[in-house]
Structure 1
Amino acid sequence: MTPPVGGGKVHSDAMKAQIATVQPGGGTQLYRAVQDAFGEANKKYADGYLNQVLIISDGNNEDSGSSVTLAKLSAYVKGPTTRTSRSSSTSSSSTPVNLGPLKKVAALTGGIATHVTKMSQAPDDFAQALFSS
């Protein structure tokens, strides 16, 4: 059983509510963003809880000078300071979609890549990805 987070809600309900408020937009240095997210997740890691990173992206690594490549991201997430139970569920919420980079990120982090065509379906899709691993 998942412990309540407040007001009687379980963590999965709180996660779905938060995801429902997300709106995509702008460009992202995909590999840098994933590395930063893993760094933040490691700081807040909690034993006995679901510790995952969710990524909403069109899959394009809009990198204008970042030094984080897929190889460097791989070394980072497999490094000694990264908790081994962490995984990444990646999803795209826009068209056109470049699932190739998202699948590569998912493969190296033990996650999955899905294509969300409407943000209204994102909470259920993410919940399925989160709680199936």
Structure 2
Amino acid sequence: MQDLRLIGVHEDGEHLLLAGDGEERFRLPIDDQLRDGLRHHPRRPLPAEDGGSTLRPRDVQALIRGGASAEEAAERAGWPVEKVHRYEGPILAEREHIAGLARRVSVRGRTPGGAASVQTVEARVSARLTDRGVP
């Protein structure tokens, strides 16, 4: 089996770029299966010589930005959850801001009568969920 090394994230943000032993390059889709695998098999940091964590606050924020819960980030960092809560605020605010921008994006579509319509993503999603009986 050939070992691959991570080069980075593709510009589309949807793939990891990997390299093989030779000149071969690979793209790996960043899908739910990959995310779940990373969450369920977290890498354990090596303890620092003083017994503390080797992760910095920015590393913990990166974990949260990547979808880890405060509890998961605390476990990986070897920190109490209360300490993680001090650093997750800006990341959660950033996430809410981006979600708000996404909700306000206008999308075009067709009404059931076939007329063109423009509505926000939030309105479209709400209408579709309501149609399916989802609160």
Is the structural similarity TM-score above 0.5?
no
TM bracket, shorter-chain basis: under 0.3
Q: TM-score, normalised by structure 2?
A: 0.25
Q: TM-score, normalised by structure 1?
A: 0.25
